[in-house]
Amino acid sequence: MSEHPRRARHRSGTGARTVALPLVLATAAATLAYGAAPGTAAPSGSPAAAPTAAAAPAWATATADGFASVDALGQNGTYGGRDGAVVTVRTQAELERYATAAEPYVIVVAGTITMNPVGKEIKVASDKTIVGSGTSGHIVGGGFFLGQGVHNVIIRNLTIRDAYQGVWNDKDHDFDAVQMDGAHHVWIDHNDLRNMADGLIDVRKDSTYVTVSWNEMSHNNKTFGIGWTENVLTDITIHHNWIRETEQRNPSTDNCAHAHLYNNFLEDTPGTDITSSYGNYSRGGTRMVLENSYFQGFKNPVIKDATATVVQRGNVFSGTSGRNESGGTAFDPRTYYAYTPDAAANVPSLLKSGTGPRGSIGTTAATGSATKTSTGTSTRAAAATTLTVAKDGTGQYTTVQAAVNAVPANNPSRVLISVKPGTYRETVQVPSNKPHITVQGTGGSRKDTVIVFNNAAGTAKPDGSGTYGTSGSATVAVQADDFQARNLTIANDFDERANQSLAGHQAVALRTAADKVLLDGVIVEGDQDTLLLDTAAKDRLGRVKVTNSYVVGNVDFIFGRATALIDRSVITLKKRWDGSSAGYVTAPSTAAGRNGILIANSTVNGDVSDRTFHLGRPWHAGGDASLDPQTTVRDTTLSAAVRTAPWTDMSGFSWKDDRFAEYRNTGPGAGSASTDRPHLTDAQATTQAVNTWLGDWTPTAS
């Protein structure tokens, strides 16, 4: 049954090349916000006074999991206001001003905001993150409303409470904590929702691509309703929520196309004045997968209509009574996203300590005590080390390289190099004996912090020992395992027009020659050979994940022998220095038996002529015939710039002798399967998927 749709030394002669790289680019795609210029001014028409401006904290770059992470309806996952300014609000007027603005914002709620009138639901606009500051962010007597078409909204780390007016099952006060009517791509995470007049969460009127995770929902009549439509369109993930002392809708899922519930803890404590009437309810045309959840004391823990389905696996029922039903067929959630459920027996203790607002989301405390990460996994945190870099001298170091140099050799744990906004014109080398380094920009946008230089392959070294060569031209070169980069731009702005006499115009922005490298929320910018994803040696494994990012270039600008996953990103095609359009996106040099480059859930576009760019060609580095280059492009939107025969030969090697394929791509550049355009079968696609490509490594931000 089909589901409803979602959806070293380098080469010789490469032809004409592009002008010097501008650091301010045109927007590459509407699906992934490129980064609004940060600032503290209020939106147009607002009063002059603005709330406190804040640097972007680590959690500002967090993105959703579950169905909220799926690319669909023109939205590349759910990342909220990550690319807008960060503002701190303390009043209802300030919160409403920024939540309703057209621009993206990360809105930090610091303190208690009491709604006036009682029941006020602020109408949140698209591209917003609303997050509590530690545990201090409280919304009292009201909540949030997400209307038709509102999308890309994150609500995290808040306590939303106390709109209850004293009448149980109150029909006159329809006050919710969070209500959606026709919204999509919404993530509700790590909140405390309680004692509201109506529902804690309502997902209504075909709202879809929603994830609700790590919340405590308590002391209410109607917990969580989903539906209010005859259509069967809603896709929702509900995981790691502690639902206690609630009567009904725990949740009730009405006409959900895909409802995935796992690792939730439903608890009804004896002797209290609130008694459960039912737990998880599958209604209408709902298809529900319910797994590894824990039900304690609930009446009728799982019920379904005759027309609905529930597939149960791995659940625990303790002291429950009444209906506990399952039946029918549902779906495989891993078709849409990767996830790893916890054991059901561990769920009560895990959720009692891990749900609700955190003092610090997405980070572990530097105290050595057991803490919770944003995924809820319990960890024992080592003392964190943070080194600050500021061009203006307000940090510990004025260059990124100086901070790298300060990291001790063979450091055993994570070191965060926190880089303040500015343009750092330098080269940076992270040697192999300095693992576990994160370089993170602290600006409101990834464009605010830029590391840039202009070496090319043919540039002479200052010591007279020759030229840099392709790999040596990199602005940032990473040889250390477990490296991460976030919220910044890495660029090579070598000026080809001004250096036509120079032999060797390859100019790398970022080279990785290491394993377990995560690039999240970055821009990697260049012309020819922008992003070199390498390994430490031909026989060494090197895995790289690029997510929520931009890669910009024109000739072989994603290349190398690493096993690389480029997921939920935008690949931007550039014209060459003389204004012509022609190029190649990838040039893999994969070793036989290894995975090469997988581009998934992304967009390929740019301001170039139609049918001028190949998706890739095989790079047999050094003429090595034993290599087996691989690029797969799947579930990706291709602009008309992509050639109808998207693969081509290179240096005497035929692409047809190597591994090049597509699967389920869309857009004007997509095409039907043919001998010039191979497509994976469904069976082949299961082995070339996001959740399997990197083997036993599951990247997590740290």
State the Cα–Cα distance between residues 5 and 219, nearest whole angstrom. 38
Task: For residue 107, give both structure tokens.
Answer: 């809105």
Residue positions annotated with a catalytic role: 529, 556
Task: For residue 43, give both structure tokens.
Answer: 């939106």
User: CA dist 336 to 1, 68, 664, Å?
Assistant: 15, 10, 13
**In this structure, are residues 609 and 641 in contact, taking their beta carbons and an 8 Å threshold?**
yes
What secondary structure does DSSP assign to 412-469, as a single string? -S-EEEEE-SEEEES-EEE-TT--SEEEEE-SSSTTSEEEEE---TTPBPTTSS-B-H
User: What is the sign, positive or negative, of the torsion defined by CA atoms of 337, 342, 347, 350?
Assistant: negative
What secondary structure does DSSP assign to 577-603, as a single string? TTS---EEEEEE-PPTTS--EEEES-E
Q: By three-state DSSP, how is residue 60 classified? A: helix
Which helix (H) or strand (E) is 225 found in, with range?
strand 216-227
φ, ψ for residue 622 (rounded to 5)? 65, 15
CA atoms within 13 A on the CB side of 50: 18
Task: For residue 69, give both structure tokens.
Answer: 């992470």
| CB-based contacts of 141-144 (< 8 A; 24+ apart in sequence) | 141/114, 141/115, 141/116, 141/175, 142/115, 142/118, 142/175, 143/115, 143/175, 143/176, 143/177, 143/178, 143/179, 143/196, 144/99, 144/177, 144/178, 144/179
Residue bearing tokens 């090469």: 596
**In this structure, are residues 584 and 556 in contact, taking their beta carbons and an 8 Å threshold?**
yes
φ, ψ for residue 64 (rounded to 5)? -75, 160
Comparing CA positions, the residue from 91, 96, 140, 144 lying closest to residue 114 is: 140
Return the exposure string of 221-252: e unless at least 16 CB atoms fall within 10 Å of the residue's CB, then b.
bbbbbbbebeebbbbbbbbbbbbbbbbbbbbb
Label residue 108 exposed, middle or buried (CB < 10 Å: 0-12, 13-18, 19+).
buried
* % helix, strand, coil for the chain, step of 5: 10, 35, 55
φ, ψ for residue 682 (rounded to 5)? -60, -40
φ, ψ for residue 431 (rounded to 5)? -70, 165
**In this structure, are residues 313 and 293 in contact, taking their beta carbons and an 8 Å threshold?**
no
**In this structure, are residues 422 and 395 in contact, taking their beta carbons and an 8 Å threshold?**
no
Which helix (H) or strand (E) is 351 found in, with range?
helix 347-354
Task: For residue 74, give both structure tokens.
Answer: 């023109």
Q: By three-state DSSP, how is residue 400 classified? A: helix
3-state secondary structure string across 327-347: ECCCCCHHHCCCCCCCCHHHH
State the Cα–Cα distance between residues 120 and 618, nearest whole angstrom. 59
